[in-house]
Amino acid sequence: MNNYLKRIFSFIVALMYVFSLSACNADARKAVVEVAQNFTDALSEGDVNAYLKLIDKDSDNYEEHIDFITEWFDDSDIDNLDDEEIHTAECAIFDTLSFEVDEDSAEAYEQTGEGTVDVVAEYVDFKKLIERKWNTASIDAFLTAVSESKSTVQQKLSLKMVLVDDKWIVTDFSDVEKLLKAIEFNLHFKKNYKSGIDYLEWWYPTYEGSHLYCDTDIITLCAKLNDIGKEFYWQYYYTVEYKNELIYKSSFRTFFETDYIDAFLFSSYDGCPIDNSGNYIAPGQYTFTFYDSNDVAFASDTCFVTSTSPEKPEDEDTPSAPFSGTPVGMDLLEKYYEDSEDEEFEHVEIEGDDGCSVFYDSDFYEYIIDYCWWDYSFSTACSNYCKETDCMAYSLLVDESSFMSVYYEYYNVVTGELLFARTVSPTTYEDGTYYDIDYEVEEELAPGSYMLIVMNSSHKNVLFTSTVEVTE
């Protein structure tokens, strides 16, 4: 009987111990669930201080994790527009983040001081959003897409905990880091690149400030950026066209925190035409165009290349006309300057954009759209001529309503000799209405300055003058 009672008593004690342990473990499970909830709340709120109070300082990677979390929530290093937009996008994704603690998965044992609990994290499926280009057209488009999206992804976190000084704390942070890395946003939003450009400039042309190169083995177009553009993350490529044919397309180029972007053509590039000397880029017109990653052009400009060993020019059918040889224009121009000293003399001088043209008649000037010296040999605008040129030409694009005839004279400024004169009316072509103010040269020109004087058809009023240089 005594043995029987002893066995009963031992069983009861053992059962009480089991119930006691179960009660203790139930309390431990409840505790780790509560810690997991506080832990994820601190994480979702970005409360780094509260978060740090719930992690194990004795963990092997504690220092590395502190650096990771601090850097992840730190926005002090944002110093340009792209970084700001990326941060804004990342915050929008993070704001969709929610956590659900799986209480049934909780395990905790006070005897061993170890516990685990699973947490399901859910956030917007932003990777699916960025597959649609219109969602990344701008930061505003992306934020709208995030706010309207119903598509989400889930990620499980297994939080391992230890009991320290009667407090449960998280000791393994690897799943937390995986989650935050998964929602990092590294896409640069497309910009209106055109708004970031201050001006275009050809680098190192033969004549400073011009679009003209002579005997060159490199052409470089620089886009100087304004304050907005300096904050852009630039991803672009460029093309070069020669005689309206594509001869070069660059690979993608990337710039950030810069004052300019550039495009260039070397004579050594495949497809680059070479002049007769075999050393330089062939003469003609070259158009450089910048494109963004969506193949949208945002800047373009044209330059002109000449050569001292030019290709043989095509014959030009430019009729010449006899003239009286009387220097009407030069005498009339001198009279203009004499009369301009009289206070009652009404006369307007408008300096031309090309630096060599001066317009004297404001009524006539209103009809003008564009003007330049023109080289028929290469079908390009020019700022000077070689002495071997067979035609000097001034191209004047005017409003189609212009119909008046003009009389013009060409002079050698050095000798004062009148070289050519004629009367011309505007001619309408496919691309506009022009005065073709040409001088077909019969003999080699002497180097020096030459002047064009254009008057009304009655030879009584000077409309404008322009000078051009002839070089060796």
Tell me how far apart the alpha carbons of residues 328 and 159 are, in angstroms, rounded to a whole number: 98
Answer yes or no: is pLDDT of 25 > 60.
yes
For residues 39 and 159, give the distance between their C-alpha atoms in angstroms, rounded to a whole number.
10
Residue 406: how many other CB atoms lie within 10 Å:
20
Task: Give the separation between CA 132 and CA 450, rounded to whole angstroms.
Answer: 61
Interval 419-453: pLDDT, tens: 888 888 888 878 888 888 999 888 888 888 888 88
Mean pLDDT, rounded, of the chain: 79
Contact (Cβ atoms closer than 8 angstroms) between residue 383 and residue 449: no
Q: Give the mean model confidence (pLDDT) for residues 222-246.
A: 87
pLDDT of residue 59: 85
- In sequence order, which ranges of 214-275 are alpha helices (DSSP H)? none
Ramachandran class of 87: left when φ > 0, alpha when ψ lies in -120 to 50, beta otherwise:
alpha
Q: What is the DSSP letter of 229?
A: G
Highest mean pLDDT among 107-111, 308-312, 415-419 belongs to: 107-111
Q: Please give the angle made by the CA atoms of 305, 308 and 313, to the nearest 5 degrees.
A: 75
Find the helix or strand (DSSP H, E) in which 337 lies.
helix 328-339
In angstroms, the CA 236 to CA 231 distance is: 15
| Tokens (6 digits) for 248 | 């070069």
Beta strand spans in 81-151 (E): 98-109, 114-124
Mean pLDDT on 279-283: 88
Confidence (pLDDT) at 273: 92
| Residue 220 pLDDT > 90 | yes
More confident: 67 or 129: 67
What confidence score (pLDDT) does residue 224 get?
92
% of the chain with per-residue pLDDT over 90: 13
* 218-225 and 197-203 strand pairing: antiparallel
Strand-pairing partners, residue 350, are: 359
- pTM to 2 decimal places: 0.41
Judge contact between 284 and 244, C-beta under 8 A: no
Which has the closest alpha carbon to 92: 121, 122, 124? 124
The answer to whether residue 100 scores a pLDDT higher than 50 is yes
Nearest to 329 by CA among 396, 439, 425, 418: 418
For residues 195 and 292, give the distance between their C-alpha atoms in angstroms, rounded to a whole number: 13
DSSP state of 157: E
Q: Using DSSP, state whether 66 is helix, strand or coil.
A: helix
Q: What is the dihedral of CA 426, 427, 430, 431, to 10 degrees?
A: -30
- What are 303-358's pLDDT values in tens digits? 888 777 544 444 434 333 334 445 555 566 665 555 544 444 444 555 555 557 88
> What pLDDT digit, counting tens, does each position of 141-198 carry?
788 888 888 888 899 999 999 998 889 988 888 898 898 888 887 666 666 778 888 9
* Arithmetic mean of pLDDT, 285-306: 86
Quick check: 89 and 137 in contact, CB under 8 A?
no
Backbone angles phi, psi at 72, to 5 degrees: -65, -40
Q: Which domains does the chain have, with CATH numbers?
A: 27-182 (3.10.450.50), 197-306 (2.60.40.1930), 328-471 (2.60.40.1930)
Nearest to 145 by CA among 101, 187, 192: 187
Residue 71: CA count within 13 A, CB half-sphere: 10
- Identify whether the C-beta of residue 131 lies closer than 8 Å to the C-beta of residue 185: no
Mean pLDDT calculated for residue range 374-389 = 86
The mean per-residue pLDDT over the stretch 278-299 comes to: 87
Number of H helices, E strands in the chain: 9, 25
Cβ density class 32-66: b for 16+ within 10 Å, e for less: bbebbbebbebbeeeebeebeebbbeebeeeeebe
Residue 219 · residue 305 · CB < 8 Å: yes
357 in Cβ contact with 466 (< 8 Å): yes
The angle at the Cα of 174, spanning 169 to 176, to the nearest 5 degrees, equals 75
pLDDT at 339: 52
Q: How far is it, in rounded angstroms, from Cα 134 to Cα 119?
A: 34
Give the C-alpha distances (Å, rounded to integers) separating 139 from 79, 85, 123, 190, 385.
17, 6, 19, 8, 52
Q: Are 371 and 350 in contact (CB under 8 A)?
A: no
For residue 23, what pLDDT is reported?
44
How high is the pLDDT of residue 80?
60
Considering only residues 413 and 382, tell me which one the structure prediction assigns the higher pLDDT.
382
**To the nearest whole percent, how much of the chain has pLDDT over 70?**
79
Tokens of 60: 């092997």
Spatial distance between the Cα atoms of 141 and 129, rounded to a whole number of angstroms = 11
Given 3-state DSSP classes, what are the helix, strand and coil percentages for the chain, each rounded to the nearest 5?
25, 40, 35
Give 279's DSSP letter. S
